[in-house]
Chains A and B, each alone.
Chain A
Amino acid sequence: MYELKRLAIEFGLTPKGAKAPVVAKLFVDIVNKNGRIAEVPLVSRFMLKTNLLGAFKMIPRAAKMYKRGRMPITSHKIEGIAELEKCAGAMTEPMISGLHPGSAREERS
């Protein structure tokens, strides 16, 4: 099932306005940068990309969570981020035979 998700995102076959690919890409961006997910940047960037009005409507809930100490504002970068990047750089991503990540983008360009 995950392969279908990856193919759909790779080949731009997700329905217009689909939010799952947006959150997945943002999640990957943040983890690639810091080594850990950070909820506030994830949610705020997601809302700005998909539902700006909804972002404002979330403010009261966010404020309540912040008051209760449940909204960590800062994010943490791991020491081993370079180590992870080195490992990732040495890796290939197998997809259905004949394809590799980026091949769909290469064809389109």
Chain B
Amino acid sequence: MNKAYDKSTQVVCKALDIDLAELNDWNCCGASAYLSIHEMKAHLLSARNLVLAEKEKKDLVVVCPACLTTLTKTNHYLAEETRFKRTIDTALKAANLQYRGSVTVRHLLEVIVNEVGEQEVKARIKRKLSGLKVAPYYGCQLTRPFGEIDDKEFPVILDRLLTWIGVEPVDFPLKTKCCGGLLMMTNEDVALGLNRNLLDCAKQNGAECIVTICPLCHMNIETYQGDVNKMFGTDFKVPTLYFTQLMGLAFGFSRKELGIDEEMISSRPLLEKHFEVVG
């Protein structure tokens, strides 16, 4: 479901000279679902990924905020909670694994903004995206619970990146409000209401599309717009793109290379309205 995010991430990282290597034999982080059943086994999943990253002597960069949250929590607890560390260390030892605590977990957005920087991003721009108004949607997990990347309630890191590539981020007060996540499966009515609020807020503030940094947010906002319209009598047809797709467009890559046209709500009319999109 995240092929477009994967494709556009690979393409953009290559353009920015970010040496991205898939973590060998990584496992699922467990997200929040695993924590609902087994606490320590959920952290064990993250701990194994941290062990694997440490073996390769690299930072762990993720594009999913749920992965970011679970991996960061485990990393923090291993550094700060003695009993927790003892339990995880004992478990890892059973398979001759050990984690020394040297890995930093980061989201790609933060790496691009804080490490690559404005000058390097702007230097790679080949296509002007000016005139496009977007709602920068962070979702609820990028900045919470630790607030290490940006302000927990009103972050601006994505807004900044979007201005660097020439698009106009609109004021979006619900930028960190939850899309419902798995509620779309377990309590659809509530999740549709949450997404209706997000779409309505984006539209009211003049956004022509929503830009996300999370694959589950992308799925909820985009795929269920028809259901939102049916339930609330609305008429939303808001394209939803990943931030890496917009970056890739600015860098001159084709739609195919960025997985654009794989959306459920086509962004083609919007992109054609604003600028010539090659390929």
State the A residues within 8 Å of B (CB). 2-3, 5-6, 9, 18-25, 27-28, 31, 35-37, 39, 43, 46, 61, 64-65, 68-72, 78-80, 83-84, 86-94, 101
Task: Provide the residues of chain B in CB contact with A2, threshold 8 Å.
Answer: 32, 35-36, 39
Q: Which residue of A lies closest to B182 (CB)?
A: A23
By the criterion CB–CB under 8 Å, are A87 and B36 in contact?
A: no
Task: Provide the residues of chain B in CB contact with A21, threshold 8 Å.
Answer: 36
- B90 close to A (CB within 8 Å): yes
- B87 close to A (CB within 8 Å): yes
* Separation of A64 and B90 alpha carbons in the complex (Å): 47
* Separation of A21 and B40 alpha carbons in the complex (Å): 18
By the criterion CB–CB under 8 Å, are B34 and A20 in contact?
A: no
By the criterion CB–CB under 8 Å, are B38 and A101 in contact?
A: yes
By the criterion CB–CB under 8 Å, are A90 and B48 in contact?
A: no
Task: Provide the residues of chain B in CB contact with A72, threshold 8 Å.
Answer: 1
- B28 close to A (CB within 8 Å): yes
Give how many B residues have a beta carbon under 8 Å from the other chain's beta carbons: 39
Stretch of B93-101, B130-138, B170-178 at the chain-chain interface: B93-101
- B65 close to A (CB within 8 Å): no
By the criterion CB–CB under 8 Å, are A64 and B264 in contact?
A: yes
* Separation of A93 and B41 alpha carbons in the complex (Å): 8
* Separation of A31 and B27 alpha carbons in the complex (Å): 8
Task: Mark interface residues in B41-67 (1 if CB within 8 Å of A CB, else 0).
Answer: 100110010000000000000000000
- B239 close to A (CB within 8 Å): no
* Separation of A20 and B33 alpha carbons in the complex (Å): 9
* Separation of A68 and B260 alpha carbons in the complex (Å): 10
| Interface-centre pick from A5, A31, A72, A86 (highest chain B CB count, 10 A) | A31
Task: Mark interface residues in B173-188 (1 if CB within 8 Å of A CB, else 0).
Answer: 0000000001001110
